Amino acid sequence: MRVDGRENKQLRPVHIETHFIKHAEGSVLITVGDTKVICTASIDDKVPPFMRGGGKGWITAEYAMLPRATEQRNVRESSKGKLSGRTMEIQRLIGRVLRSVVDLEKIGEKTIWIDCDVIQADGGTRTASITGAFVAMVLAFSKLMEQNKICELPVTDFLAATSVGIDPQNGVILDLNYVEDSQAKVDMNVVMTGSGRFVEIQGTGEEATFSRNELHELLETAELGIRQLIDVQKQVLGHLAEQIQNRSTESVEKL
């Protein structure tokens, strides 16, 4: 049995509270077990210099932890004066995977700023950030639609992420908490779309390798969890979810 009594292939309780921050165009508080992340999506009416004049939009993400999100207080990156490599890696990941399910041509020269701020951490902060940020982003697009700035949701599919790992006792497990993460032989973050396509597969573990068979089982387990996460997204997004579903079905049929 796992440290918190879960089955190997069981997610922690997941909750997404929408409209959590009143100023943001889109915002959620996502809770995955004891991991809590505030995700906001902000709309900026310009794109970065390297994209100007191209007529396309851009999505970029920033990720941070409050100093006491963790067991030990971590020093603020604003005090250190620079971002850690870990932070950079995570925020690049979040931006990249969100861009893979958005039709950037449809939003014109706008930037969507995604901010993921971890207020409490217990493993899986980057995957919770992706899952929550997707919802915040859809809400921001929905606001653009209300303002008649775009005429359809530019989102081509759902997107969510979870972690999977190989536990010394339990074998392949889903959605690792902090303790499990520290003990896992292999630890992998998987990002998938609603139609079951992979977006990123990232080993983040240390000093461990895995065979093709292990990879197969890890990916199947991840898919199981991601389907449930997307179900939660669908519930909170309501009619917006239907629009994405339709669009996604069309895309898949075209392939």
Site residues (vs a second copy, CB under 8 A): 21-24, 27, 34, 38, 40, 42, 44, 62, 64, 66-71, 73, 76-89, 91-92, 96, 99-101, 104, 113, 115, 117, 119-121, 157, 193, 196-203, 206-212, 215, 219
Least separation, in Å, of the C-beta of 194 and a second copy?
A: 11
CA–chain centroid gap for 246, Å, is: 21
Least separation, in Å, of the C-beta of 84 and a second copy?
A: 8
Least separation, in Å, of the C-beta of 70 and a second copy?
A: 6
Task: Please identify, using beta-carbon distances, which residue of 81 and 239 lies nearer to a second copy.
Answer: 81
Task: Please identify, using beta-carbon distances, which residue of 91 and 129 lies nearer to a second copy.
Answer: 91
Q: How many CA atoms lie within 13 A of 234 on its CB side?
A: 15
Q: Are 91 and 61 in contact (CB under 8 A)?
A: yes
Which amino acids are annotated as binding site, given as ranges? Answer: 86, 124-126
Task: Please identify, using beta-carbon distances, which residue of 216 and 235 lies nearer to a second copy.
Answer: 216
Task: Please identify, using beta-carbon distances, which residue of 8 and 70 lies nearer to a second copy.
Answer: 70
Which amino acids are annotated as binding site for phosphate, given as ranges? Answer: 86, 124-126
Measured between alpha carbons, how far is 143 from 171 in angstroms, rounded to an integer?
44
CA distances in angstroms from 19 to 44, 80, 142, 162, 201, listed in the order given? 19, 32, 12, 23, 30
Those residues whose C-beta lies under 8 Å from the C-beta of residue 166, and which sit 6 or more positions away, are 172, 173, 184, 185, 186, 208, 210, 214, 218
Residue with tokens 């509270």: 17
Least separation, in Å, of the C-beta of 145 and a second copy?
A: 20
Task: Please identify, using beta-carbon distances, which residue of 2 and 36 lies nearer to a second copy.
Answer: 36
Would you give the DSSP letter of residue 34?
T
Q: Are 55 and 108 in contact (CB under 8 A)?
A: yes
Least separation, in Å, of the C-beta of 163 and a second copy?
A: 15
